[in-house]
Amino acid sequence: MMEDRSPIFECRDVTVRYGDITALADVGVTFERGMIHAVVGQNGAGKTTFARVLAGLVRPAAGSLKFSGRSHAGGSVNDARRAGVELVHQSFALPPSFTVAEAMQFGAEGGSLFTRSALERRWQPHLDSLDVKVKARQRIRDLPVEIQQGVEIARALVSEAKLLILDEPTAVLSPEGTEKLFERIRRLKARDVTVILILHKIREVLAIADTVTVLRGGRLVDGPLDCTEIDADRLAELIIGPAATRGLNADDKAALTGSATVAHAHIETSSARKNSVLEMRAVSTRADTEGPALDNVDLTISAGEIIGVAGVEGNGQRTLVRAISALVDVVDGTLAIGGDDVTGKQLAARRAAGLRIIPFERNVEGLSLSSSLWENWSARSLLQMPLLAAINPVTIQKRCAAALNRWDVHYANVAQRAGSLSGGNAQKVILSREMDEDARLILAAQPTRGLDIGATSFVWDAMRDAKARGCGLLFISSDLDEIFDISDRVVVMLSGRIVAEFRPPYDISAVGAAMTGVLK
Amino acid sequence: MTERLVSVLRAVIFVLLGLALCGIMFQLAGYSAPLMFQAIADGAFLRAGALQQALRWSLPLFITATGVALSFRAGYFNIGAQGQFYIGAVSAAFMAEWLNGAPAAIVIPACIASGMLGGAAWALWPGLLRLKSGADEVITTLMGNFLAGLVLLYVTAGPLKDPSGSGQQASSRPLDAAYRISDSMGLSPTIVAIVAVVGVAIWLLINRTTFGVLSGLAGRNPTMVEWQGARTWRIGLASFLISGALAGLAGTVELMGPNGRLTGGFLPGHGFTAILIALVANFSVVGTAFVALFFGGLASAALYLPIMAGLPSAAIDVINAAIALFITAKSSLIDRIAKLKGRTWKTS
């Protein structure tokens, strides 16, 4: 069979605006049929918007789209479907209470009335043919993330898709899960499906893709480039941009782009034994709707130390933070902050002992978006006063303004709503509140998620500064590169337990194996 | 545009929209809209004595509405102001009965305290149900209104029944004139002083204490405040109790002021109008003062509607409802307008 290399997708001068923000500007690319195309860029580069344009979820303000040579207006999911385009979202969109078979049927055409067993008989062969190891009767919520993703892909392929787009599929996976995903993608390529992968890490691009396209700030930087003809360093520069590259050290640059694994952090050998700021002894909790139970967790963090927590999302990282923050009941074990037992103490008492939290959900747990900046900023210190203490808002607002300026937050005035800030600036407001002089133990939960390069390296530097001041930090991230870059020690969480601990130099394959339970 | 100006404009626009809607409705129904508006303007503010009438209605409304604003602002939708108003009045009436014969300097403060405690007690149980078991306070406080209405009927027809009453309407024995804090016109230095104290105290509480900032944050995003280590149940319980106490205080003022006795089902719309006032005022104490004056004016105009425009006085309830309709729909509507107008409404 002759290989068909005609373009499956072309676009010219595509521009997308959300309100005042231009998400994509004059992007024009051509993707050839039957290949694996990577689209890379930092957060805010426009990758997801690009994927949504292809899938018909966003109608461009300007520009032209062509699928297999035929023009499309864009902005219609049905048109894109008919052209054979399917998108697998970054955050999974399958209804958790559905069975796998029901989820399959949901995306398919044809059929009206089905019994459950008929549905299962219909879809089991499809799942088997894609090597998704799952029973069609299982419920989505009971499946591990990797299988869920397999089901998502299988669902996208129910209607003979010719162009499959995966939006950051590796973000939720362990290194091993990523490898399995890549095998699956290669098999799809063999079945003549063109795949567009939205990716974050150069290492992954070079491992899987035939071509790479780089976006930065909503513009096309270059591409599609042949992956055999580009090296990691060159690609890193394209992604970060020449201006930003200058301010970064080599390890940070590598961690930002995943061009190479940072094998060792900056090891500091301290002669004096440092005081511990956190000591958890055999801590167990109960499972609840927000995550699995902690099972016999021992963890010590010393002053001036950053402990990275690696693990596939949903393995108890959230429960760990909530347990230290007294937001979930500890049923067994003890917990001490700065040497004082706080096992039975409320969060207010633990905060008084020096606990600070940069929560997972910036916009829900970290800030009240419809409240003013100064109210958000002052909440922590106000809570250390009596409930009826008199305050002078003007003084607080002045102190808030001074703090926000010190933390380089871009804002108009302290009375503006927190929701009007960009993600990076919003995170800086939280940092300015939580990384104060009296902090001793800082829980940083996914502090760089969704931030652009500048904000990400700002957060890293803030964490290093806090460490230099003698704080102990717990750093939770799903990005192994940044964990390795920042952390003095790395622990791995699996099913609510700490299953392994690593010291520099870090071995990504060993950490990855621990994340999936294959201890070496 | 400052945020404050925007919210004032919002309130004015929605009130005007409500009035316009009613004008159109009544015009279509065969009444005269111009005459209706004339009657409202005259009856509320322009006629001699109208302003006095408007104040008579707006002062108790202001007391209840500040409480409602405080609890709504903290994220607790206490819509039981009507019930708390009744129970407050009943508690004060019992206190007056019990202390009957004692000097006014003792009886009046005792009745006020008792009325506030009664109102707070009627907010305590829905508050505890919400905080301890998660029972929706909208449902419990709403049901509490009906219960309180029945309690009021029982009291006026039973323990405090006026034996000389006609039997037409159950009512309690009239209060001794020495214990009244105003005549039936409902305006006196005492009532004005009570209103001033309430206004200043609640303003200070909201704007000059940690409770004010934290309850405002908790009302908009309780999760964030919990992650800061706040014991949100304390904020919640305080909001319930204060709003109940203020509704109870308004009931006491009505009892000891213009009414002078309990009557079964008196001022049936008081608590709901107070909720409307708090919503229109966007939970600001200063705003509540102005909006209460406006709705007090509407209440006063109810007398003039039948005379001047031939409308039943219940037309005022229709106007209130129309304003409520717009004000509760305001957020999405304003957002849509803001989008169409290219975000000129977005505050800096």
The CATH number of residue B120's host domain is 1.10.3470
Residues of A engaging B, defined by a Cβ cutoff of 8 Å: 19-20, 325-327, 346-348, 350-351, 357, 359, 364-371, 375-376, 378-380, 382-383, 385-393, 412-413, 415-417
Give the SS3 label for residue A10: strand
DSSP A122-188: HHHHHHHHTT----TTSBGGGS-HHHHHHHHHHHHTTT--SEEEEESTTTTS-HHHHHHHHHHHHHH
Which residue of B207, B220, B229 is in closest CB contact with A346?
B229
Give the span between the Cα atoms of B77 and B69, in whole angstroms: 9
The reported pLDDT for the residue numbered B343 is 40
Answer yes or no: do A235 and A322 share one domain: no
Count structural domains, chain B.
1
Which residue of A380, A382, A390 is in closest CB contact with B208?
A390
Give the span between the Cα atoms of B283 and B64, in whole angstroms: 12
Q: How many angstroms away from the CA of A434 is the closest CA of chain B? A: 10
CB A379 to CB B214 under 8 A?
Answer: yes
CB A462 within 8 A of CB A432: no
CB A451 within 8 A of CB A423: yes
Mean residue pLDDT across chain A: 88
- Which of B7, B208, B228 should we substitute to test contact with A (largest number of A Cβ atoms within 10 Å)? B228
Q: What is the DSSP letter of A111?
A: -
Residue B346 lies in a domain: no
Count structural domains, chain A.
2
The answer to whether residue A503 scores a pLDDT higher than 60 is yes
The reported pLDDT for the residue numbered A107 is 67
Buried b (16+ CB within 10 A) or exposed e, A267-280: eeeeeeeeebbbbb
User: In this structure, how many other beta carbons lie within 10 angstroms of the beta carbon of residue B146?
Assistant: 12
Answer yes or no: do A314 and A232 share one domain: no
Q: In chain B, what residues touch A413 (CB-CB under 8 Å)?
A: 348
Nearest CA in chain B to A413: B348
Asked which of B1-15, B86-100, B325-339 is least confident by mean pLDDT, the reply is B325-339
Give the span between the Cα atoms of A72 and A84, in whole angstroms: 13
The pLDDT of A284-310, averaged and rounded, is 93
**What six digits make up the tokens of B68?**
């409602």
Answer yes or no: do A132 and A95 share one domain: yes
Residue B347 lies in a domain: no
The reported pLDDT for the residue numbered B157 is 87
Q: Which domain holds residue A127?
A: 7-249
Residues 6+ apart with CB under 8 A from A482: A255, A256, A448, A456, A460
Higher-pLDDT residue of A283, A126: A283
Residue pLDDT, tens place only, A261-296: 666 555 554 444 568 999 999 999 998 888 889 999
Residue A257 lies in a domain: no
Establish if B331 touches chain A: CB-CB under 8 angstroms: no
Tokens 């109790």 sit on residue: B241
CB B238 to CB A19 under 8 A?
Answer: no
Distances in Å between the Cα of A101 and the Cα atoms of A95, A98, A140, A504 are 12, 8, 10, 45
Higher-pLDDT residue of A268, A427: A427
The reported pLDDT for the residue numbered A250 is 82
Give the SS3 label for residue A328: coil
Give the span between the Cα atoms of B216 and B205, in whole angstroms: 11
Which residue of B217, B223, B235 is in closest CB contact with A379?
B217
Establish if B210 touches chain A: CB-CB under 8 angstroms: yes
Establish if B224 touches chain A: CB-CB under 8 angstroms: yes
Q: In chain A, what residues touch B229 (CB-CB under 8 Å)?
A: 326, 346-348, 350-351, 380, 383
How big is the CA angle at B178 (ends B175 and B183), to the nearest 5 degrees? 75
Higher-pLDDT residue of A111, B221: B221
The count of CB pairs under 8 A between chains A and B is 97
Give the span between the Cα atoms of A4 and A16, in whole angstroms: 31
CATH number of the domain enclosing A44: 3.40.50.300
Q: How many angstroms away from the CA of A380 is the closest CA of chain B? A: 6
**What six digits make up the tokens of B109?**
């403060």
Q: Which domain holds residue B320?
A: 3-340
Answer yes or no: do A45 and A161 share one domain: yes
Residue B308 lies in a domain: yes
Residues 6+ apart with CB under 8 A from B174: B162, B260, B261
**Helix or strand run (H / E) with residue B144:** helix B137-157
Q: In chain B, what residues touch A383 (CB-CB under 8 Å)?
A: 210, 214, 228-230
Residue pLDDT, tens place only, B110-120: 999 999 999 99
Residues 6+ apart with CB under 8 A from A490: A307, A308, A309, A310, A483, A484, A501, A502, A503, A506, A511
Q: In chain B, what residues touch A415 (CB-CB under 8 Å)?
A: 3
Asked which of A15-24, A143-152, A239-248, A258-267 is least confident by mean pLDDT, the reply is A258-267
Residue A271 lies in a domain: no
